[in-house]
Amino acid sequence: MSASRNLLIRLGHIHDEITDLVKAFENESFESFSESYVLRRTAEHAILIISEAVKALSVDFTDPYQGIDWRAIRDIGNVLRHDYFEVDPKVIWRVVTERLPELKLVVEQMIRDHS
């Protein structure tokens, strides 16, 4: 598999996770999210997948796309894996409702730029 094809696959994974997660949360409130084990774990797992996919993208590839904290995306996977007991539902909620829609726009641009 060519390197550019692999990048597009990873970007596709990121895009799909964001699209499906944001859609799943469009009618949820923070209260319903924070009280639901299933919603919290679903969000955490999707963010973990996004983090892993971003880790597969080189820094040289992501750096030109400003406005996204790529390091924080890479790092959140470690928090979810190793410090899961410290995860604040408010942080996950903000990631899903604020940060992921922003990331989706950038990922869509990246896909266009490399297709």
The yes-or-no verdict on residue 5 having pLDDT over 80 is: no
Instruction: Report d(CA 18, CA 77) in Å as an integer.
Output: 15
pLDDT average, residue stretch 18-42: 96
Which amino acid would we find at residue 100?
L
pLDDT (0 to 100) of residue 2: 55
* Domains of the chain, residue spans: 3-114
Of all residues in the chain, what percent carry a pLDDT higher than 90? Answer: 92
Please give the mean pLDDT across all residues of the chain.
94
Contacts of 53 (CB under 8 A, 6+ apart): 10, 11, 13, 14, 17
pLDDT (0 to 100) of residue 4: 60
pLDDT average, residue stretch 24-48: 96
- How many C-beta neighbours within 10 Å does residue 23 have? 9
The yes-or-no verdict on residue 78 having pLDDT over 70 is: yes
The yes-or-no verdict on residue 3 having pLDDT over 90 is: no
pTM: 0.93
